[in-house]
Amino acid sequence: TLRVEKMNNLRGSLYGIFDSLISEKENIINIRLLETKPISFDLIFNDEFYNQNIKKVLSDIELKYTNYSDREMIYFICVRKKIRFIPKQYNKKYFTIALFKDEKKVERVIKIPFARIYQMLAKDRDPDEIVVTENKIVFQFGEDVIHQYIYDVADYLKIDLSNSSKIVYVGETDFPLDRPFDKAHLGMMRAIYNYKSFGNDIFIYYNLFQVNFISINDTLINYIASNGLLDYIDKRAEARFIQNALIWRLLPSNYSKNYSTEIGELKNTLNTLKKKINLKEVVISYEVDWESDMYLFHSDLIKHTRNIGFKISENENIFA
């Protein structure tokens, strides 16, 4: 409690210093991705080991970035073409991944030497036993059992699947282990209904962002301060702002019945910040520094890209 109080005092003093410097100048909001974690919707409910491990991973991410609960997670619901291991084609030398064209028809088969996956295990000897199922490879080293799931393998080895994640929903949550992880969720239900039976897997990408205010001066010095210190918009409003900006850029108006409300919120926040701190532009960048097609995205409004980067300038209609 004492540490939180000290942080709040520091935030207050810094706010006093930066507020006068920032509010008198032209300002830009820079929003960039800090960290992301994709999780498999199917495996959450079909594999208890995966379920428990992912809960720990999400808890660790929260602890790393939100000790004082100054950020919420922004999540994407995405669909990808289904891939599976082919257990009957497994042997001691290689394993096989099938990329599906639809729910049943295989479009392409990729053979991967086991020597490559051993790089992931950090072991100095061969396993005593290997069990291959559709979704994972289980390695037994004495009493040590290692589960390697198919998408983790493809991601780590950067296997070219000619695949891409289609973003079909953007949301925000302060409780990632509840929503949309465990609770019923309309966006998830729509994704299942529209895509699941056509040979797709569903993923939730949990994302954390850094929000900085950059004050543009008529000198060589620009002032940069995070919203966590300035608190120009509170935690909930910051999450809604990021969510709604991404919806504006990525999703069509018919993606949800809440679209008009979300875009209205975005307009109101932009207008408030324009009046409050002379906001001129919002710059958003979502890019993962890892050459895996797990981080290649598209949507109904954008083509395949590794960098979801865009600006909302004051000359946009939404910036009224």
Higher pLDDT, 240 or 185: 240
Q: What is the mean pLDDT of residues 206-234?
A: 69
User: What percentage of the chain's residues is helix, strand, coil (to nearest 5)?
Assistant: 40, 35, 30
Q: Is a pLDDT exceeding 70 seen at residue 67? A: no
pLDDT value of position 277: 84
* pLDDT above 70 as % of the chain: 82
pLDDT band at 228 (very low <50, low <70, confident <90, very high): low
Q: What is the mean pLDDT of residues 189-202?
A: 86
* pLDDT above 90 as % of the chain: 47
Q: What is the mean pLDDT of residues 301-306?
A: 96
Cα–Cα distance, 172 to 206 (Å, whole number): 9
Q: Is a pLDDT exceeding 90 seen at residue 205? A: yes
Q: Enumerate residues 6+ apart whose C-beta is below 8 A from 226.
A: 210, 211, 212, 213
Q: Which two tokens stand for residue 244?
A: 């709604």
Does residue 127 have a cis bond before it (omega within 30 degrees)? no
Q: Is a pLDDT exceeding 70 seen at residue 79? A: yes
pLDDT value of position 12: 46
Q: What is the mean pLDDT of residues 197-213?
A: 90
Average pLDDT over all residues of the chain: 84
Give the largest CA-CA distance in the chain.
68
41-55, 112-126, 138-152, 215-229: least confidently modelled range: 215-229
Higher pLDDT, 167 or 13: 167
pTM > 0.95: no
109-123, 148-162, 170-184: least confidently modelled range: 170-184
Higher pLDDT, 117 or 223: 117
Q: What is the mean pLDDT of residues 310-319?
A: 88
Q: Vertex 231, ends 226 and 237: CA angle to 5°?
A: 105
Q: Enumerate residues 6+ apart whose C-beta is below 8 A from 19.
A: 230
Q: What is the DSSP letter of 305?
A: B
Amino acid code (one letter) for 177? L
Task: List, for residues 105-149, the tens digit of each pLDDT value.
Answer: 999 999 998 888 887 888 878 888 999 999 999 999 989 999 999
